[in-house]
């Protein structure tokens, strides 16, 4: 890396970190119960702790901020991986139906254990990502199989198949939720809109193993995503086992998506927006794109969650709705841009 490029990258990351720090500061200090910076610092450092401040910071705001950050980071990275695998700038875990498949698996878990979720809280917290992963993998395999043409993945067909399968999974999810008792139906309905209002430390614990194992794997294999932008024959001629590496990357990204869906519900568009913004800033090399996509996704979800819980107080919007308000116009912008460029977003 030459010196000007290195300096530019350092500036980009400095600005990104400062924006995330500002978002954390605003989210920690503002809300129904406002706190000063010194109140937050004294509470975190355990200097003359006040019970009311402990409750606000450790039971409500901090776990919610941490989950928003982890979800945003994971969805941003997973979205960049999915776009790299499919060579389609409009590909997104939500649009392709992977979120819906993971959601179906988790609602199926709720349906099978309805009425027992609170009694088996830790069991449900750690089992839900697994059920989500099974649903996400099954959905991805169906989409992948139906999108192949003459043994080759058709990226144009992929988007249409993903939307269709995602709609079907959404219908199945709604059917199962309607079969639940009133309490579990309410829980499933809130969760399906994409919400982290009931986040706690147990949910963070359930996400961490997936993130710790899968995120470094995806970063380490970013080089393959660069190669996948070439033609299939060119990649094979370089000695790369394309199907094996593509499947590994897809399974790892589905694992991240499923872990996110299990704690935050179906939050869409983060995996679409974050990679596009990252590529505009640092170019197309995935070793740079993946980390920055994660950071931008983190910033987007933290800010959106703060807007969701404060702007319409005392009513709280699900964070998924706030992100959709941003994401839907951006998706139409990308469609129009792709049309002008002849099909490439």
The most confident of the ranges 31-45, 160-174, 294-308 is 294-308
Q: In the predicted model, is pLDDT for residue 235 greater than 80?
A: no
* Cis amide prior to 119 (ω within 30 degrees): no
* pLDDT attached to residue 32: 77
Interatomic CA distance for residues 8 and 281, integer angstroms: 10
Which range among 47-61, 90-104, 114-128 shows the weakest confidence by mean pLDDT? 114-128
The most confident of the ranges 63-77, 86-100, 316-330 is 63-77
Mean pLDDT for the stretch of residues 138-160: 78
Which range among 82-91, 150-159, 193-202, 249-258 shows the weakest confidence by mean pLDDT? 150-159
Q: In the predicted model, is pLDDT for residue 88 greater than 50?
A: yes
Between 294 and 119, where is the model more confident?
294
Calculate helix-pair angle for 155-178, 182-192, nearest 10 degrees. Answer: 160
What is the pTM (predicted TM-score) of this model? 0.87
* pLDDT attached to residue 153: 67
Record the tokens describing residue 194, joined without a space.
Answer: 């994409």
3-class DSSP string for the chain: CCHHHHHHHHHHHHHHHHHHHHHHHHHHHCCCCCCCHHHHHHHHCCCCCCHHHHHHHHHHHHHHHHHHHHHHHHHHHHHHHHHHHHCCCCCCCCCCCHHHHHHHHHHHHHHHCCCCCCCCHHHHHHHHHHHHHHHHHHHHHHHHHHCEECCEECHHHHHHHHHHHHHHHHHHHHHHHHCCCHHHHHHHHHHHCCCCCCCCHHHHHHHHHHHHHHHHHHHHCHHHHHHCCCCHHHHHHCCCCHHHHHHHHHHHHHHHHHHHHHHHCCCCCHHHHHHHHHHHHHCCCHHHHHHHHHHHHHHHHHHHHHHHHHCCCCCCCCHHHHHHHHHHHHHHHHHHHHHHCCCCC
* pLDDT attached to residue 304: 92
Between 322 and 120, where is the model more confident?
322
Domains of the chain, earliest start first = 61-340 (1.10.3470.10)
Q: In the predicted model, is pLDDT for residue 232 greater than 80?
A: no
* pLDDT attached to residue 155: 66
Mean pLDDT for the stretch of residues 241-259: 84
Condensed to tens digits (0 to 9), the pLDDT of residues 173-189 reads 889 888 888 777 877 77
* pLDDT attached to residue 116: 59
Average pLDDT score, the chain: 84
Q: In the predicted model, is pLDDT for residue 130 greater than 90?
A: no
Provide φ and ψ at 123, rounded to 5°.
-65, -45
Condensed to tens digits (0 to 9), the pLDDT of residues 255-294 reads 888 888 878 888 888 998 999 999 999 988 999 999 999 9
């Amino acid at each position: 890396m030459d010196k000007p490029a290195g300096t530019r990258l350092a500036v980009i990351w400095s600005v990104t970190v400062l924006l995330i720090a500002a978002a954390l500061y605003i989210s920690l200090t503002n809300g129904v119960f406002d706190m000063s910076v010194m109140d937050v610092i004294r509470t975190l450092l355990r200097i003359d702790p006040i019970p009311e401040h402990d409750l606000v910071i450790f039971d409500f705001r901090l776990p919610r901020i941490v989950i928003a950050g982890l979800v945003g980071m994971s969805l941003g990275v997973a979205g960049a991986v999915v776009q790299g695998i499919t060579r389609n700038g409009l590909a997104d875990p939500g649009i392709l139906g992977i979120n819906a498949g993971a959601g179906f698996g988790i609602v199926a878990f709720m349906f099978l254990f309805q009425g027992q979720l609170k009694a088996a809280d830790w069991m449900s917290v750690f089992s839900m990502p697994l059920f989500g992963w099974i649903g996400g993998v099954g959905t991805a395999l169906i989409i992948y199989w139906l999108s192949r043409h003459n043994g080759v993945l058709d990226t144009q067909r992929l988007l249409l198949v993903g939307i269709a399968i995602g709609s079907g999974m959404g219908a199945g999810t709604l059917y199962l939720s309607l079969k639940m008792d009133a309490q579990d139906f309410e829980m499933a309905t809130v969760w399906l809109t994409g919400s982290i209002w009931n986040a706690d430390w147990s949910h963070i614990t359930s996400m961490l193993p997936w993130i710790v194992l899968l995120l470094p794997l995806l970063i380490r294999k970013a080089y393959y995503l660069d190669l996948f932008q070439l033609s299939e024959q060119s990649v094979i001629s370089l000695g790369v086992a394309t199907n094996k590496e593509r499947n590994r990357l897809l399974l790892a990204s589905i694992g991240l998506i499923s872990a996110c869906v299990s704690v935050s519900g179906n939050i869409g568009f983060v995996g679409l927006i974050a990679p596009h913004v990252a590529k505009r800033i640092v170019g197309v090399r995935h070793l740079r794109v993946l980390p920055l996509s994660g950071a931008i996704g983190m910033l987007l979800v933290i800010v959106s969650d703060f807007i969701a819980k404060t702007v319409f107080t005392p009513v709280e919007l699900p964070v998924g709705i706030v992100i959709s308000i941003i994401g839907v116009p951006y998706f139409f912008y990308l469609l129009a841009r792709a049309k002008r460029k002849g099909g490439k977003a």
